[in-house]
Amino acid sequence: MAHSLKSCLILFGAPGSGKGTQAKLLKQSLGWVHISTGDMLREHVAKKTAVGVQIAEMMKCGTLVPDEMVNGMVEDRISRPDCANGFILDGYPRTVPQAELVRGMLNRKGFHPVVTHLKVDYNIIVARLASRRLCSQCGQLYSVASNAPIVTEHCDYCGGQLISREDDKPETIWKRLNAFDAQTYPVLNYFETVGLHVHDLDGSAGSPATIAQRIEAFLDE
């Protein structure tokens, strides 16, 4: 399927709405770069960089890290040559100041953002996140409830040990959902105010592949 060279996709949605799963599927079908601020920040924590040491506790508790820490990372990443054909923003922007900044950044670089809002009931999200596992080696996502690995606790692709994210504990999940309501949801209003259409999608209706097809259809509009 042919897509405009200068489009990019913003996957908007609460934690556990399926942004990561969709980004991984769409990255393959579109050949675009997947930019997950959560993954970038977790890498800093794992490598114990100066930034990582500062943000480790915030991430563990499910609070957002300061805008200036993420903004620079995203700006650097989308300036790399591999993003020239398109990229998928997963988990960014997450505050109105981030949204203002990325809008300017995309304008300057000549990218038209297509925004998709994956809407999922919070009770479904809590159940999803509690059963989420990821491969400690390759990052492949699993659900012990609906998409279990063939060999218990091991990745189907690389055999790596499956782990739960530290911030997927039930009490932290609600903190993250509250942060979404308070700090991230207003981004939708901002998009509307600046005339950027948001494509709403039921993120719990249909298989991940079906949802990915619906998102691709938005990109073709």
Q: Which residues of the shown chain bind ligand AMP in the complex (CB under 6 A)?
A: 15, 37-38, 41, 58-59, 62-65, 70, 91-92, 94, 98, 167, 176
Closer to ligand AMP by CB, 67 or 156: give it.
67
Closer to ligand AMP by CB, 122 or 213: give it.
122
Closer to ligand AMP by CB, 62 or 113: give it.
62
- Relative to beta strand 112-119, strand 7-13 is parallel
The single-letter code of the amino acid at 12 is F
Please, what is the minimum distance in Å from the beta carbon of residue 169 to ligand AMP? 12
Please, what is the minimum distance in Å from the beta carbon of residue 71 to ligand AMP? 9
Closer to ligand AMP by CB, 58 or 127: give it.
58
Is 19 among the residues known to form the active site? yes
Please, what is the minimum distance in Å from the beta carbon of residue 221 to ligand AMP? 26
CA distance 131 to 169: 10
Task: Identify the active-site residue in 24, 27, 42, 94.
Answer: 94
Please, what is the minimum distance in Å from the beta carbon of residue 77 to ligand AMP? 12
Is 128 among the residues known to form the active site? no
Is 165 among the residues known to form the active site? yes
What's the CA dihedral at 114, 10, 31, 59 to 10 degrees? 180
CA distance 88 to 82: 12
Task: Identify the active-site residue in 165, 169, 175, 214.
Answer: 165
CA distance 141 to 161: 12
Is 47 among the residues known to form the active site? no
Task: Identify the active-site residue in 27, 42, 132, 133.
Answer: 132
Please, what is the minimum distance in Å from the beta carbon of residue 150 to ligand AMP? 26
Within 10 angstroms of residue 185's Cβ, the number of other Cβ atoms is: 13
Closer to ligand AMP by CB, 65 or 211: give it.
65
Is 77 among the residues known to form the active site? no
| DSSP assignment letter at 139 | -
Dump the DSSP string for 151-213: STTB-TTT-PBEE--GGGSHHHHHHHHHHIIIIITHHHHHHHHTT--EEEEETTSS-HHHHHH
Q: At 80, give phi and psi (nearest 5°).
A: -75, 150
Catalytic residues: 19, 94, 132, 165, 176
